[in-house]
Amino acid sequence: MSTRGRAAAAVAVVLVLVAGVVLGVVLLGGDDDAPDEPAAGPATPTSTPLADYDTLAVAVAREPFCEAVEPAVVTEVLEAEPTGVRTWADGEQVRLPEGGRDVAHEFGCRWAVDGAVASAWVFAPPVTRRQAIDLAQVAQSADGCAPMRGARPYGLPTLAAFCRVEGRRGAPAGTEASYRGLFGDAWLTCTLEVPGASPDEALAERAGRFCVSVLEAARLPGDYTRADPAADGPDGSPSPSIG
């Protein structure tokens, strides 16, 4: 082959190689220009925070409510889908946390997974304002419990508390956040127990979201007009919170 021929062939090879590089840049360049996929972060809560819910305009039915609690909210606050679910009703034999059995005078339910437990119950008998104050004071004085400072009311009278709890089934000790209060003549309680958790604002907020879902499930239709507390109180003064 002549020198010109060899040169022409060399040029052709170079052109083919350059063309391949350019094509590769065109085909692959889009990946370099595309924005990186955002890293997966914690799921955004879809439930309603207690701070955004007016619990003082709600009355509650003293009857079963557990089937109406939104399952997605339970999974959200437990941070996993529950593997154990239990319900009970007025007059049923129930197992007590400290052992033994008793007859329930309430309607309630419990969801659990990996040591975390969300529970809620409403007393079957009607409760007066004076009785509600006593119930709140008894709950506050339980061993390892202390009131949440600055908590939003959950009914009236009301108590929001943190309690130290022993771990279940090998889980580490943790904290239970609870809200309880009087809604009309119904005494409603909801709790969220998390192993290894501290009594902090984050746990209170998670429990509050669960308690709003419970309240939505148990509430009576329409808005509730609260009666004059003097009709049931010793001195007529309102008690928005205990502790």
pLDDT tens-digit readout, 156-173: 999 999 999 986 666 688
pLDDT for res 188:
98
Number of C-beta neighbours around residue 164 at 10 A: 13
pLDDT for res 26:
31
**Measured between alpha carbons, how far is 174 from 40 in angstroms, rounded to an integer?**
27
pLDDT for res 241:
60
What's the whole-model pTM score?
0.75
What are the residue ranges in the chain where pLDDT is below 50? 1-32, 34-35, 37-42, 229-240
pLDDT in tens, 169-180: 666 889 999 999
Q: How far apart, in Å, do the first and last CA atoms of the chain sit?
A: 102
Q: Helices (DSSP H) in 88-176: which residue ranges?
A: 129-140
Q: Helices (DSSP H) in the chain: which residue ranges?
A: 3-33, 71-78, 129-140, 201-218
3-state secondary structure (DSSP) of residue 22:
helix
206 neighbors 192 (Cβ within 8 angstroms): yes
pLDDT for res 23:
31
Q: How is residue 5 written in tokens?
A: 């021929």
